[in-house]
Amino acid sequence: MIAIIGGTGMAEILNEGRERIIYTKYGKAKILEDDNVIILLRHGLKHNIPPHRINYKANIYALKLLGVDKILAINSVGSLKKEIRPGTFFIPNDFMEFTKRRDDTFYNDRVVHVDLTEPYCPAMRKELKKILDKFNFEYQEGVYICTEGPRFETKSEIKFYSNLGDVVGMTGYPEVVLARELGLCYSSLCNVTNYACGISEDLLSVEEVFETIKKMEEKIVKVVREFINSNFESCKCREAYERGIIC
């Protein structure tokens, strides 16, 4: 079972299937269900949930309850490097997080240390690259920096982050870790919507972000549909989870 988690601007693109509310011990999650695909819009159908208020634990746990074993997250990001151009794709192979107030683990009452040598499922990443190459869509790989939001980052922050990573976003963490804690395969397909503050000479605007997403809409749908219908090799995501349990 595959789940697609959509972010900023994804409501109109991925709004398909029967609406359903899943109640979990961490809260409720609203999903769209269509055959063997689950779609979860992390900001809500009306895009009214800011990144720092998303109930990431309820979302990921709900997908686990539904029998999902693979999660493809769609994330909108800002570029920290001139060569990573808006309008292209980015596949994270690692991350660093600078969040402040997020509930980022399922294990507060037992000791679990999950391995994050490869936080994003290598088999899923390989398949995504194969699909992007098939359609000749431009993409790069690298490190995703996650900030708290909802504000955009300052010029000095971006200067600092650019020494550590390649793109910056607000929703990639703690999704990736929570998925690993439940033994789920997780990978991210980022659409680069803008240059981050200080790299771009213009002021950042939400309009710019949505405008770029609109231009990429057809490509995003194409990649997601191809991914849903693909078959790829197994990985060690669940094994990394099982090895981390102490008691």
Query: Burial of 193 by CB count in 10 Å (0-12 exposed, 13-18 middle, 19+ buried)?
Result: buried
196 is in an annotated binding site: yes
Q: Which residues make beta-bridge pairs with 168?
A: 78, 145
Asked if residue 150 has a cis previous peptide bond (ω within 30° of 0), the answer is yes
170 is in an annotated binding site: yes
Residue 16 lies in a domain: no
171 is in an annotated binding site: yes
Structural domain for 117, as ranges: 74-243
43 is in an annotated binding site: yes
42 is in an annotated binding site: yes
Residue 37 lies in a domain: no
161 is in an annotated binding site: no
Residue 71: closest CA among 11, 18, 31:
31
Q: What is the CATH number of the domain that holds 82?
A: 3.40.50.1580
Sign of CA dihedral 170, 174, 30, 184: positive
Q: What is the pLDDT along the chain (247 residues), one digit of tens a residue?
A: 899 998 655 655 566 668 889 999 999 998 888 777 899 988 887 778 999 999 999 999 999 999 999 999 999 999 999 999 999 999 999 999 999 999 999 998 888 888 899 999 999 999 999 999 999 999 999 999 999 999 999 999 999 999 999 999 999 999 999 999 999 999 999 999 999 988 877 766 677 788 888 899 899 989 998 998 888 777 878 776 677 665 4
How many domains does the chain fold into?
1
Residue 183 lies in a domain: yes
**H/E segment holding residue 75:** strand 70-79
Residue 98 lies in a domain: yes
Residue 103 lies in a domain: yes
Confidence (pTM) = 0.92
Residue reference for tokens 């869509």: 137
